[in-house]
Amino acid sequence: MRLFWLPLVLALGTGAARGEYILLAPAETPVAGQPITLYLMITNETQQTIDVAIPLQLDLRLTAEGRAFNASFAADPPPSPATAQLAPQTFRKIRYSGALPAELEGTVTVRARGLESNSLVLAVQGAPAPPPAVAQQQPAKAPGPSYPPFFSALSPYDPMYFALGLSSDAATKFQLSLKLQFFTEDAPLAQHAQFLHDLYFGYTQTSLWNLGEQSSPFYDTDYQPRLFYFSPDIWDASGRNVRLGVESGLGHDSNGKSGTDSRSVSVAYVKPILTLGEPSSWHWTIAPKLIAYLNKSDNPDIDDYRGYVELQVTYGKVDSWQIQVWGRKGPAGFGTEVDITYPVPGLTLGNLNGYFLVQYVDGYGESLLDYNQRTKSQLRLGLAVIR
């Protein structure tokens, strides 16, 4: 696939004057497990006044001797407002307070996740031993697990849920999905070529399960590996809460069957992702997906039903309701899905994690096996782990 869209992406990402973010080391000697203070300096090296975003917290990635840790440092005091104007050739310095993980010791590399800034190298002293009397009364806890780099590079991709159909002929549906970042921020190669941070392998598996039938067979399963580039913030309108991201790559869908039930399709796609509003508050996400079919020999007319454009529109808040509407339209049919979710703890169900899910599906091709058949509209209730 020719990446003809990369020049446009780069042009959008660099078209506006932006501030430079510089992490500054603490004045005191950092000690593992103890509070320290970091500073973030935002500079305006241009000849015009610019708007800059001031992070409410720094999400830090810390690496030492092949082990990776995460830590969050909060602005002290919190900035008000979260954006500021910088005059030409001026800067602003913000203080952040937090504590380093108790397991750290020695040379530690510190990077701010989601922020284009420099990295710090700190010499961290080990956590002091507890007083003898305390050590006798309460044994020191064993260090928490430090996960290998492979696991720290895993993150959610598409929604993950389990939903039970309400009509007698409705199949139960569940979906699993993860993505793997090939090069983390700590990888030496990625430090010299920043675009490598944004290369991913994704995998989604969606199954329809006929629980009501004898032996509860799986009706159909769609296996969806992806190889793609993803950047959530290639452009933003400073102070206006408008951001543009992009996902683009190659995908394959297959139901793993043979003979006349075999279905598979390979595509190339580009999906711009527009976010309107503050992510921590009520906001919109609009994501059209443009599709080019590369191989559809098992089902040569699948583009008549799936079309060449999918649209996903989401409105919601992190700790409240979210409604997501997805749809596609081809010359011979359409498909749509509506997912409404709400955090389970908000429904006074204790500490059970996840989201209560109501799902409505209508149109063609909910399963890859029946891509050219319109199924009866379905209503499902379930639990989403990731929405």
Ordered DSSP codes for 106-175: EEEEEEETTS-B--EEEEEBPPPPPPHHHHHHSPPPPPPP---HHHHTEEE-S-EEEEEESSTTPPEEEE
Does a structural domain hold residue 1?
A: no
Answer yes or no: are the C-beta atoms of 327 and 334 closer than 8 Å: yes
Residue 286 has pLDDT above 50, yes or no: yes
Residues 210 and 280 in one domain: yes
Does a structural domain hold residue 256?
A: yes
Domain finish residue from 74, 95, 128: 128
192 is catalytic: no
The average pLDDT across 81-98 equals 86
Q: How many domains does the chain have?
A: 2
**Res 111: pLDDT:** 87
Domain coverage including residue 21:
15-128
Residues 116 and 158 in one domain: no
266 is catalytic: no
The average pLDDT across 193-211 equals 91
Q: Looking at 146, 252, 262, 266, which residue is catalytic?
A: 252
CATH of the domain at 96: 2.60.40.10
Closest CA to 248 of 198, 184, 178: 198
The average pLDDT across 20-42 equals 88
Residues 307 and 177 in one domain: yes
Answer yes or no: are the C-beta atoms of 245 and 219 closer than 8 Å: no
Answer yes or no: are the C-beta atoms of 58 and 112 closer than 8 Å: yes
**Res 5: pLDDT:** 38
pLDDT band for position 293 (50/70/90)?
Answer: very high
37 by Cβ neighbours in 10 Å (0-12 / 13-18 / 19+) ranks as: middle
The average pLDDT across 194-213 equals 90
pLDDT band for position 168 (50/70/90)?
Answer: low
Q: pLDDT above 90 covers what percent of the chain?
A: 45
Mean pLDDT comparison of 65-74, 238-247, 377-386, highest-scoring range: 377-386
Residues 122 and 243 in one domain: no
The better pLDDT of the pair 363, 280 is held by 363
Does a structural domain hold residue 5?
A: no
The average pLDDT across 34-46 equals 89
Q: Is the pTM of this model over 0.95?
A: no
Residues 113 and 170 in one domain: no
**Res 103: pLDDT:** 85
For residue 345, the SS3 value is helix
Residues 268 and 355 in one domain: yes
Residues 69 and 117 in one domain: yes
**Res 7: pLDDT:** 36
Residues 228 and 333 in one domain: yes
**Res 263: pLDDT:** 97
Mean pLDDT comparison of 2-6, 20-24, 273-277, 344-348, highest-scoring range: 273-277
Does a structural domain hold residue 9?
A: no
pLDDT band for position 382 (50/70/90)?
Answer: very high
| 12 residue type, one letter | L
Residues 248 and 380 in one domain: yes
For residue 197, the SS3 value is helix
Q: What is the pLDDT of residues 344-370, one digit of tens each?
A: 876 655 567 789 999 999 999 899 999
The better pLDDT of the pair 180, 189 is held by 180
The better pLDDT of the pair 143, 205 is held by 205
CATH of the domain at 238: 2.40.230.10
Residue 69 has pLDDT above 60, yes or no: yes
Residue 100 structure tokens: 């380093």
**What CA–CA distance (Å, rounded) separates 264 from 135?**
62
Residues 375 and 227 in one domain: yes
The mean-pLDDT minimum among 3-17, 37-51, 150-164 falls in 3-17
Torsion of CA 23, 28, 30, 33, to 10 degrees: -110
Residue 20 has pLDDT above 50, yes or no: yes
Residue 147 has pLDDT above 70, yes or no: no
**Res 61: pLDDT:** 86
The average pLDDT across 84-100 equals 88
Does a structural domain hold residue 379?
A: yes
How high is the mean pLDDT of the chain? 85
The mean-pLDDT minimum among 61-65, 77-81, 165-169, 301-305 falls in 165-169
Residues 175 and 61 in one domain: no
Residues 245 and 215 in one domain: yes
Q: Looking at 119, 146, 238, 254, which residue is catalytic?
A: 254
**Res 200: pLDDT:** 96
